[in-house]
Amino acid sequence: MKISILIPVNNYDIIALVHSMKEGMENVGEFSEILIGDDGSSEEYRKKYQSLAGEKIKIITSEKNIGRAAIRNRMINEATGDYLLFIDADVMIRGTAENYLTRWLENIHLGRVISGGILYNDNPPGDPDKLLRWKYGRLKEQKKTHERNKHPHSSFSTFNVLIERSVFHKIRFYEELKQYGHEDTLFSYQLKKAGINIHHIDNGLIHEGLETNKEYLTKVKLSIENLSRLYDNVTDKKTFAATVNLLRSFIWIKRFRLRGLLAGIFIRYRDRMEISLDSSKISLLLFWFYKISMFCTFREIHQKRKFLPIFRIPPEII
């Protein structure tokens, strides 16, 4: 049995991570290679990645940014492992790489898709401009294993996940999603429709690459727009909604015919909400309302084919 490590990256320094993983692989022979998927990085970073190429390390380069789904599919095509371990570039290993890799081997019998989980540092970031991403991640994304296994498909992320290669004979990452957001949600939905279970274990990596509050809010807009478009296009809306907490809330709002009201509130109070969310006193309840009211607004746009200028996104963020 061979396992490939796949790290998609765009303009992020992964030298220490790759060296650590390679060192850990020396005593865990089942891990046979590391693939770095350079998705349109700058020349400066491209040279850094190329300097890592060598024994057991392969660089997959795209001259332009093709998106998170497309670069992952390219890496799948090049990988030789029977299992593929996807990890994001902006991670830090808790403990040693050898222990982290060994933990996967101890649990590989549990299923075809195994999620290790996401962790956040215990202390808030020194930069208050990154507080929103840390607070949301720590309270909503960092969940205990038994909690994630209660609703395994709704707690799925490719941030840190081991997938049997045969899964990709049926399912691939959806490359039509070019902008950021909910690629993993769609993949989880496809797994559920295919009858492929997800098993969650305690083998988390720490999310280090926190965006500023403003950057994160921009990504939230992109992801919620994606979610609305996906909701229009999936064939089984009930199953899809079951994988997304926000959609479960939306179904209740729609049932009580409150969608238009929340969209109106969002349009009127959006600026005030964003000012509050970019402060030192962040309310996750407000953040939830911000997201659900924004989703209601996108539903109005997509169903009535209207365009509101409040959603103009800087092209460099896409």
Same domain, 151 and 31: yes
**What's the CATH code of the domain at 196?**
3.90.550.10
Last residue of a domain, one of 176, 210, 244: 210
Q: Which residue type sits at 77?
A: N
Same domain, 141 and 249: no
Q: What is the pTM of this model?
A: 0.91
What the block records as the tokens of 275 is 């000012």
Q: What are phi and psi of 265, to 5 degrees?
A: -65, -40
Strands 3-9 and 83-87: parallel
Same domain, 290 and 188: no
Q: Which residue type sits at 7?
A: I
Q: How many distinct structural domains can be found in the chain? A: 2
Q: Which residue type sits at 120?
A: Y
pLDDT digits (tens, 9 = 90+) for 55-86: 999 999 999 999 989 999 999 999 999 999 99
Same domain, 198 and 284: no
Q: Which residue has the tokens 């299923």?
A: 111
Same domain, 294 and 190: no
Domain that holds residue 249: 216-317
| Whole-number Å distance between alpha carbons of 132 and 136 | 6
Same domain, 133 and 282: no
Same domain, 164 and 233: no
Same domain, 57 and 170: yes
Q: How do the pLDDT tens digits run along the chain, 318 residues long? A: 999 999 999 999 999 999 999 999 999 999 999 999 999 999 999 999 999 999 999 999 999 999 989 999 999 999 999 999 999 999 999 999 999 999 999 999 999 999 999 999 999 999 999 999 999 999 999 999 999 999 999 989 999 999 999 999 999 999 887 777 888 999 999 999 999 999 999 999 999 999 999 999 999 999 999 999 899 889 899 999 988 999 999 999 999 999 999 999 999 999 999 999 999 899 999 999 999 999 999 998 877 654 444 334 333 332
∠ CA 255-189-75, rounded to 5°: 145
| Whole-number Å distance between alpha carbons of 53 and 206 | 25
Render 220-266 in DSSP notation, one character per residue. HHHHHHHHHHHHHH-S-HHHHHHT-HHHHHHHHHHHTT-HHHHHHHH
